Structure 1
Amino acid sequence: MFNLKLAQLQPTAAMSKRAQPSPSTSQPLKRAKFASDQSSLKTFFGSSQRPILPPNSGVEKGRNSVPEQVRKQLNIKKIATPDIIDLTSDSEPTFRDCGSENGLSQVQVQATAAPQVGDVGGSSGVILPSRSNRPPKRLPMKNDITPLPNYQPLGVDPFVYDVQESPWPANEPAPYSFLVHALATLSGTRSRTIILNTLTNTLRTLLNWHRPSLLPSLYLLSNCLSPPYSPVELGIGSSVISKAIQHISGLTSSALRRLYNSFGDPGDVAFEAKSNVRTLVPHPPLMIVAVHDYLLKIANSKGQGAAKQKQAIVEKLLVAAKGEESRYLVRTLSLNLRVGAVRTSILTALARALVLTSQTSLGGPDRDHSLYHATSQSISSVQREKLHEKFIQAEALVKKVFVQHPNYEHIIAGLFKGGLDSLDLHVPLTVGIPLHPTLGSPTRSLYEIYERLGDLPFAAEFKYDGQRAQIHGVRGVNSGNPSVHIFSRHLEDMTTKYPDIVHLVKCIFQQQPQLQSFIIDSEIVAIDPSDGGLKSFQELSNRARKGVEMSDIKVSVCVYAFDLMYIDGEVLLAQPFRERRSLLRSHFPPFLPSDKGARLDHVESCESDAGKDAIEEFWQKAIESRSEGLMIKLLSSDTIQEDGMRKGNGKRKPLSATYEPDKRTSAWLKLKKDYVVGLGDTLDMVPIGAWHGNGRKAGWWSPVLLAVRDPRNDCLVAVCKCISGFSDSFYKEMVAYYSEGSDNCSRQPLWETDTGGFRPDVYFRPHKVWEIRGADITLSPVSLAALGLVSSSRGLSLRFPRFIKTRDDKLPEQASTTDFLAQIWKDQQGQSKATAGDADDGDLVDIEPDSEGVAGGADESDG
């Protein structure tokens, strides 16, 4: 590959955090709302101007050498540079001396003044330094970089979008630039409507023009490569990405570091570094399928030399990338796309795209062919109404199938086999593929539980301090060796972490010849092998995470089973909890293998039929034990009054006791013993910034700014500062992890967060979740959390927040929400009226608390 590049790129004040829309723009590009014509997106994909070839340069005549006068003028040095990189080859790029007699492969421009930033599209040549006010000169190129295609806007109403318009040449694969066009549109808006429209139209286009690109596009949009239970991981560090960017751009390490300090986001850095690289020989465009395949190659690179292999692949991709493709390639490699497309949005868009695609082309019956070919001019209100009804039905079906069988490959295959209507028949709940677990809703007290459930029968169970586990077992063919899989709460395969539980399941199959297959929900808890006494989660966390041998096990465990979702070919999700529990107890009695390894038991429980006194005594027993508290589960489906049973009026709504995958249901209520005093529930919050500490904490981050998730705007919003609960060792770890200038810490707000009136000294990359407990929720003129939900002028804040532990089992998308915060505040007002002095003005003095806790481990139980 023949490149021209800048030796050093000095960041200037004129540099924007994002790409500049044109060479003449001097102000940073602001994130704009979606425009119907999306004309601004054209600048993302490069300029169409051809470079001006100066006379006597030797380039326009196709010569392979650079004249001596040009070499002297540009102060060209001999540097090692890659030859043309063939994306179809698996070999690593080779290098040669650019000053050899074979010709110039790359030149390096030594700037005598701070160089100016070139065109966004990178097609107008390298800007040479100029000491006058005249426009900078540009070095000519023999072959200009081909600008990316101009696609029609994706954020428009799906009824307006013309899916019949060919986005790329017919019978050709879908180009990666089309997916980048979608990602750029998503990145430029916070509107949920535009996000759904963009995803819907993107998937419709792929369904219509190149279906093999649909599956890799779903994974790339989801910022993953495979199902969550698959062991496929990129395993690529920031150093590999940085080296690849530095290698193809020719920037020095110090120049690259300055770019990181200026932009913060690796994708923006790659875009800026690549924008000043010009290729004399154009590369074929990247294709969606090829990009996904190369990412899988990166993930599968193992053993000695793997880092070098991964870097070579990254360089191949970046060399072929044009314009915005560089930005989103690196963001994909960094596992941070920075677009508002969460899983729910992708599933909703997929369902809508399927509704708008003729079902006969998918392999299913097409009941109303006219609906799929109506345009904005021809569609009637009746047709639109029918399509919206189909949207609702399809969304419910696709989401139901996915939470029971989270595998896009199987879902797409099922769609092409039988269409949308029979999707659940072709992609059923399957042993060996985890389903998303049911989650419990937090409550403040036993009083609130009776307030919610009234006289409905329920069971109170110990909430053990362990790791939630979904155990799948199926007997082998002809009664052979059973297959066992153990999945975490986040569907990660942790079978190799618990060989003793695998052995336990195989013993159960031996004890029960009639048993064929099952899926149970359980909690794995560390125990004392001598008497079965409970131990803490910290004890359990001392076990190795994978590849454990039976001889290496030092911590014994017990599997406390509490639900049964599947047994011998029968799906039990629609059965009430009373029936599921009965089947669990009859098919899986307590069991201890003869070798006294892992054991099976049922959770300790008490039913409401025993009376309130018995439930109160059981609650006290939970407080005194090593359990976290209680789980309250409705035994049978019934109805409850929306405004509470005690009020005696209002409409009644159904309350189902079925197993609801991926839902935080009101039929499961959790009551932790921490709720006895203070706030009714701990909050899962995300650290998004901090201030420099004072006094003894000088050199540490204290206080830390915490945020919750705002589902309406799909962003994190600041709530309060926290200074309590941190140990000295945790402070040191935090400073090392969030070191200034690193990828995790910046002086500028680089990430999608709303800090309201808070102004931290630095901003943290929001990817950690902490469990926080406070005294109560108060109105605040500084916080914007839940603004409009409880007050039109004030948000909500947390008084006296205290760090409990890091939640490694949770993602920022699973943090507590502003709705949850508002509900706690409303419940709190029902018990006691807030006073004016309770308002938190956001000021927090960094004083030394009486005692500081120690950072705990991850709680992988139902959070």
Structure 2
Amino acid sequence: MSSSSSSSSSTENMSSAVNAFSMMMSGAKRAANSPNKGKEEEPVEKKRKIEKVEEKQDMQDDQVDDKQPPVDEPVEEKNSDNEEVDDDYEDDDDEAIPLAEALKQPGKSDAEKLAQIAKGTGPSSIWKVSGAAAKSPTAISDITSPAFDPSKFSQIKLTPSKNLPYALLALALQKIEDLKNSGQGSKKKVLVILANLFRTIIYHNPSELIHAVYLLINKLRPDYENVEVGVGDHVILKAMAQVYGRSEKHITADISNGNAADLGEAALLSRVNQPMLFAPPPLTLSKLYKELLVMSQARGKDSQKLRKDIITKCLVAAKGEEAKYIVRTLQGRLRVGILSATILQALAYAFVLTEPAKGKEKECIPDIRKEKPAPSADKIALKMIELEAATKQAFCEVPSYDKLVDCLLSGADAAELSKACSVTPGIPVKPMLAKPTKSITEVLDRFKNIKFTAEYKYDGERAQVHLWTTEAGKREIRVYSRNSEDLTEKYPDVVDAIEEMISVIDKPIKSMIIDSEAVAFDREKHKVLPFQLLSSRPRKNVVMSEIKVQVCLFPFDLIYLDGESMITKNLDTRRKVLRRRLKEIPDRIQFATARDMDSEEEIQAFFTESVEASCEGLMLKTLFENATYEPSKRSLNWLKLKKDYLSGMADSLDLVPIGAFYGKGKRTGVYGTYLLAVYDPNEGEYQSCCKVATGFTDEFLDKHYDHHKDNVIPRKRADYVVTDKMTPDVWLDATQVWEIQCADLSISPVHTGVEYVTILVLSASNLIDGAGGKGVGLRFPRFIRTRDDKKPEDATTSEQLLQMYEQQFAKGGSGE
């Protein structure tokens, strides 16, 4: 059969499937809208679930009432606002496909994808417009409308192939912030604005798309290049004072008296009141990006002056809302809640609706929906689903926006993108992560009739080691953290050990990526040392001769070898190749201790053995079934069983200190208690979940009192969600992540964690309704350690906190 015939047949089958699904879903919709349907069942089921949660909570309260001291005072309950729906949108309550689901089955069948389209849970629910809106001149020129056509954009003057003004980005950011502040900031509306912004850039000047992407995510380069602007608030304040003719004291007073929420708004307020003798030339996207790059590279005694001069120049050129977002960009906090996952989704949608030009061969198509003949809405939606999944998968394997945007601008479709953006040595892969479990029974339930292996869970730092040969024939070795940060300067001894191993192996290795754990190690006693010793090592410029804490590298997985990605192979194969091709160097490189097993007695014995070997517990992984390496995914095919879990919660939490209370008694003169928060990436907010006062040493309290002196801020940040009755003595800037263990989680009338979380599942919605608008808090929290390998944005999310809470009441252990 010819390819054209095959394509025609496929299209006919697809069309039939679309019709069948449409009929099925319209029938289901009629049934769902029946006046008698669900009147009784849904509220009763909902009430039962709420009663079940309250009953479990009461049982916990009875058990600890006599022991638990009064910690927090209750506050009034909050009611959530009902979200209004724009005329341009249909079914606005539907959730767009989340990242985890898109990555779960990137090779879904056409029938499954069409089912999503028919149910209205995918892009069709975002981009579907009414007949009037599709033809309205106002709608097609409005960047917030699904009917938008980038060739008709007129709010800001743009000239094709000319540098684009920064005002375009500021306009999109302001539209998103307005939505958020009005309570109408649904993910769908944000996606439309971002996708339309990208479409406008693709149409007018595609070379500036990468600048816009980096500015939107508050970065300048990929994480693994370790490029940061590196400017403090004091430098920004000095520049603002010079530009606006106001004292630093008057500018900060705008924040303390409530006229401005942050320095960005203070800059906007100052600019409004600033007389201008002449209008400066507009600030362009590329100009701002390049100036920020120059700032990031500034070194030496005059670097601060150079940074201040650049900030001054940018603020002078800023117009309208630009000053606010320039200052926020410098601070690293845009405060509009844009996530990498949202950027990737918006890019996929943009490149489906607006096809980029291909040199002189093909002009840019601004809106594919206006082509003749126009593709059907279902065909567009199907293409969006495919490109979204491919875009997110590509970024997990190659987390470089430069590479991704270049491929998309070249016209790559989903299949081509998957080939072009695959695992590459020198670019860290987003690591696969494990789900916590709190009992051996739960492990056996999860892995019933499935072959699995158990490995020691080492208490160290995740280290992804890359080796490759350059075009000049030079061997390169780099070490990356779980956050894609380059740790090569921190671990010169690991690089040296890899070099030694390469020199003694039987078959030369030209390129590889191994997943491993770098662990503090006593080479005389041949034993693992506590993580705290490893955390004392500097992160940069470590000299081999000055190393006091030695490390041993424990490889446990193989991601890439000699030009071949291994992530699609099962763990059994990857591990066999790893152990066959690499060699151990005693006390420097040793394979993770592992054992295949299938009984409770074997797991218990191996678990005890791991704890006696100074490890945290076990990692349990499937060997054959569903055993591929899944970048960026926290998978149920990898489970972690830690010694701390067996006596308490199924996982510790990584929380951010956002406030502190002065100590009393022997803690007088330092902070004795800290207010901690989870992070809500959907809203870009930190939501309080506990106060912690235990687990600290006197040395720690002294050290962190001095550390946080520079982090004290005059008032609560606008992105801190904390009730009025939970006010610390001082507010702290979010700079650290602490690992916290607790007895369990409970519904809290004081803390806000989860209260504002985007509800993705019915049980979560019922839980929040049943809680009366309260949040989830931690009981008996205890400090474990500082997580230097994590940034505040990598902390436990409010959604994860909710899942942990629900797991407490799950039967059978898994919580599924």
The verdict on a shared fold, with TM-score over 0.5 as the criterion, is yes
- For 2:360 and 2:440, locate their aligned partners in 1 and report how far apart those are by CA, in whole Å: 53
Taking a change above 3 Å as real, the CA distance of residues 796 and 537 of structure 1, as seen in their structure-2 partners, is: same
Matched, 1:715 2:711: no
Matched, 1:631 2:624: no
- For 1:153 and 1:731, locate their aligned partners in 2 and report how far apart those are by CA, in whole Å: 57
How many angstroms does 1:599 deviate by?
A: 1.9
- For 2:151 and 2:720, locate their aligned partners in 1 and report how far apart those are by CA, in whole Å: 32
Higher mean C-alpha displacement, 561-570 vs 410-419:
410-419
After superposition, the C-alpha distances for 1:165-202 in whole angstroms (9 at most, x for unaligned) are 35423233210011011111222213212211111111
Query: 2:392 corresponds to which letter in structure 1?
Result: K
Matched, 1:776 2:765: no
Secondary structure at the aligned position of 1:496 is classed as coil
Match for residue 512 of structure 2 among 506, 518, 522: 518
Secondary structure at the aligned position of 1:547 is classed as coil
Taking a change above 3 Å as real, the CA distance of residues 305 and 511 of structure 1, as seen in their structure-2 partners, is: same
Secondary structure at the aligned position of 2:769 is classed as coil
Q: Any conservation in 1 of the 2:164–2:285 contact (CA below 8 Å)?
A: yes
Secondary structure at the aligned position of 2:238 is classed as helix
Taking a change above 3 Å as real, the CA distance of residues 414 and 466 of structure 1, as seen in their structure-2 partners, is: same
Taking a change above 3 Å as real, the CA distance of residues 754 and 801 of structure 1, as seen in their structure-2 partners, is: same
Alignment-derived partner of residue 605 in structure 1: 594
Secondary structure at the aligned position of 1:184 is classed as helix
Alignment-derived partner of residue 171 in structure 2: 181
- For 1:796 and 1:490, locate their aligned partners in 2 and report how far apart those are by CA, in whole Å: 27
Query: 1:828 corresponds to which letter in structure 2?
Result: Q
Alignment-derived partner of residue 426 in structure 2: 432
Matched, 1:793 2:770: yes
Q: Any conservation in 1 of the 2:519–2:534 contact (CA below 8 Å)?
A: yes
After superposition, the C-alpha distances for 1:44-82 in whole angstroms (9 at most, x for unaligned) are xxxxxxxxxxxxxxxxxxxxxxxxxxxxxxxxxxxxxxx
After superposition, the C-alpha distances for 1:354-378 in whole angstroms (9 at most, x for unaligned) are 1111266499999x98971339xx9
After superposition, the C-alpha distances for 1:213-233 in whole angstroms (9 at most, x for unaligned) are 101000000100001111322
Alignment-derived partner of residue 490 in structure 2: 497
Alignment-derived partner of residue 61 in structure 1: none
Alignment-derived partner of residue 306 in structure 2: 309
Alignment-derived partner of residue 445 in structure 1: 439
How many angstroms does 1:720 deviate by?
A: 2.8
How many angstroms does 1:762 deviate by?
A: 5.0
Q: Any conservation in 2 of the 1:685–1:769 contact (CA below 8 Å)?
A: yes
- For 2:212 and 2:686, locate their aligned partners in 1 and report how far apart those are by CA, in whole Å: 26
Match for residue 521 of structure 2 among 503, 510, 527: 527
- For 1:298 and 1:488, locate their aligned partners in 2 and report how far apart those are by CA, in whole Å: 25
Matched, 1:507 2:515: no
Taking a change above 3 Å as real, the CA distance of residues 271 and 371 of structure 1, as seen in their structure-2 partners, is: closer
Query: 2:222 corresponds to which letter in structure 1?
Result: P
| Alignment map for 1:462-501 (pairs within 5 Å) | 462-475=456-469, 480-501=473-494
Taking a change above 3 Å as real, the CA distance of residues 265 and 803 of structure 1, as seen in their structure-2 partners, is: same
- For 1:560 and 1:247, locate their aligned partners in 2 and report how far apart those are by CA, in whole Å: 54
After superposition, the C-alpha distances for 1:832-853 in whole angstroms (9 at most, x for unaligned) are 99xxxxxxxxxxxxxxxxxxxx
Alignment-derived partner of residue 402 in structure 1: 395
Alignment-derived partner of residue 370 in structure 2: 374
Taking a change above 3 Å as real, the CA distance of residues 684 and 505 of structure 1, as seen in their structure-2 partners, is: same
Residue segments in structure 1 that go unaligned for 5+ positions in a row: 1-30, 39-149, 593-597, 638-655, 834-863
After superposition, the C-alpha distances for 1:804-850 in whole angstroms (9 at most, x for unaligned) are 222222233332234433433333335799xxxxxxxxxxxxxxxxx
Secondary structure at the aligned position of 1:395 is classed as helix
- For 2:159 and 2:290, locate their aligned partners in 1 and report how far apart those are by CA, in whole Å: 22
- For 1:362 and 1:783, locate their aligned partners in 2 and report how far apart those are by CA, in whole Å: 56
Taking a change above 3 Å as real, the CA distance of residues 181 and 685 of structure 1, as seen in their structure-2 partners, is: same
Alignment-derived partner of residue 232 in structure 1: 227
- For 1:379 and 1:340, locate their aligned partners in 2 and report how far apart those are by CA, in whole Å: 38
Taking a change above 3 Å as real, the CA distance of residues 681 and 291 of structure 1, as seen in their structure-2 partners, is: same
How many angstroms does 1:697 deviate by?
A: 4.6
How many angstroms does 1:746 deviate by?
A: 3.9
Secondary structure at the aligned position of 1:415 is classed as helix
Secondary structure at the aligned position of 1:657 is classed as coil
Q: Any conservation in 1 of the 2:440–2:600 contact (CA below 8 Å)?
A: no
Q: Any conservation in 2 of the 1:778–1:799 contact (CA below 8 Å)?
A: yes
Q: Any conservation in 2 of the 1:577–1:658 contact (CA below 8 Å)?
A: yes
Taking a change above 3 Å as real, the CA distance of residues 357 and 698 of structure 1, as seen in their structure-2 partners, is: same
Matched, 1:812 2:792: yes
Q: Any conservation in 1 of the 2:236–2:308 contact (CA below 8 Å)?
A: yes
Query: 2:172 corresponds to which letter in structure 1?
Result: A
How many angstroms does 1:738 deviate by?
A: 5.0
Secondary structure at the aligned position of 1:716 is classed as strand
How many angstroms does 1:767 deviate by?
A: 4.3
How many angstroms does 1:526 deviate by?
A: 1.6
Match for residue 678 of structure 1 among 636, 648, 667: 648
Secondary structure at the aligned position of 2:784 is classed as strand
- For 1:695 and 1:314, locate their aligned partners in 2 and report how far apart those are by CA, in whole Å: 46
Alignment-derived partner of residue 115 in structure 1: none
- For 1:420 and 1:491, locate their aligned partners in 2 and report how far apart those are by CA, in whole Å: 27
Q: Any conservation in 1 of the 2:141–2:153 contact (CA below 8 Å)?
A: no
- For 1:242 and 1:495, locate their aligned partners in 2 and report how far apart those are by CA, in whole Å: 35
**Structure exhibiting the larger radius of gyration computed from Cα positions:** 1
Matched, 1:345 2:342: yes
- For 2:139 and 2:263, locate their aligned partners in 1 and report how far apart those are by CA, in whole Å: 26
- For 1:476 and 1:330, locate their aligned partners in 2 and report how far apart those are by CA, in whole Å: 40
Q: Any conservation in 2 of the 1:405–1:434 contact (CA below 8 Å)?
A: yes
| Alignment map for 1:318-333 (pairs within 5 Å) | 318-333=315-330
Higher mean C-alpha displacement, 670-679 vs 711-720:
711-720
Taking a change above 3 Å as real, the CA distance of residues 152 and 767 of structure 1, as seen in their structure-2 partners, is: farther
Structure richer in helix, relative to its length: 2
- For 2:534 and 2:750, locate their aligned partners in 1 and report how far apart those are by CA, in whole Å: 41
After superposition, the C-alpha distances for 1:546-591 in whole angstroms (9 at most, x for unaligned) are 2223222232221100000111111111111111111101011312
Q: Any conservation in 1 of the 2:206–2:409 contact (CA below 8 Å)?
A: no
After superposition, the C-alpha distances for 1:423-470 in whole angstroms (9 at most, x for unaligned) are 222333211111111011111121211122223111111111111111
Alignment-derived partner of residue 209 in structure 1: 204
- For 1:390 and 1:487, locate their aligned partners in 2 and report how far apart those are by CA, in whole Å: 34
- For 2:682 and 2:296, locate their aligned partners in 1 and report how far apart those are by CA, in whole Å: 35
Alignment root-mean-square deviation, CA: 3.3
Secondary structure at the aligned position of 2:658 is classed as strand
Secondary structure at the aligned position of 2:512 is classed as strand
Alignment-derived partner of residue 104 in structure 1: none
- For 1:470 and 1:206, locate their aligned partners in 2 and report how far apart those are by CA, in whole Å: 35
- For 1:286 and 1:254, locate their aligned partners in 2 and report how far apart those are by CA, in whole Å: 28
How many angstroms does 1:211 deviate by?
A: 0.9
How many angstroms does 1:477 deviate by?
A: 5.5
After superposition, the C-alpha distances for 1:736-780 in whole angstroms (9 at most, x for unaligned) are 5555xx764344452242548745555444443221111122233
Secondary structure at the aligned position of 1:497 is classed as coil
Taking a change above 3 Å as real, the CA distance of residues 759 and 168 of structure 1, as seen in their structure-2 partners, is: same
- For 2:165 and 2:82, locate their aligned partners in 1 and report how far apart those are by CA, in whole Å: 26
Secondary structure at the aligned position of 1:705 is classed as strand
- For 1:151 and 1:311, locate their aligned partners in 2 and report how far apart those are by CA, in whole Å: 41
Taking a change above 3 Å as real, the CA distance of residues 751 and 711 of structure 1, as seen in their structure-2 partners, is: closer
- For 1:694 and 1:185, locate their aligned partners in 2 and report how far apart those are by CA, in whole Å: 47
| Alignment map for 1:612-627 (pairs within 5 Å) | 612-627=600-615
Higher mean C-alpha displacement, 661-670 vs 611-620:
611-620
Alignment-derived partner of residue 354 in structure 1: 351
Matched, 1:196 2:196: no
Taking a change above 3 Å as real, the CA distance of residues 717 and 308 of structure 1, as seen in their structure-2 partners, is: closer
Taking a change above 3 Å as real, the CA distance of residues 768 and 194 of structure 1, as seen in their structure-2 partners, is: farther
Taking a change above 3 Å as real, the CA distance of residues 530 and 723 of structure 1, as seen in their structure-2 partners, is: closer
Q: Any conservation in 2 of the 1:560–1:602 contact (CA below 8 Å)?
A: yes
Match for residue 413 of structure 1 among 406, 409, 418: 406
- For 1:704 and 1:362, locate their aligned partners in 2 and report how far apart those are by CA, in whole Å: 58
Higher mean C-alpha displacement, 331-340 vs 730-739:
730-739
- For 1:323 and 1:279, locate their aligned partners in 2 and report how far apart those are by CA, in whole Å: 13
How many angstroms does 1:664 deviate by?
A: 0.5
Higher relative contact order (CA 8 A, sep 6+): 2
- For 1:237 and 1:555, locate their aligned partners in 2 and report how far apart those are by CA, in whole Å: 32
- For 1:557 and 1:489, locate their aligned partners in 2 and report how far apart those are by CA, in whole Å: 17
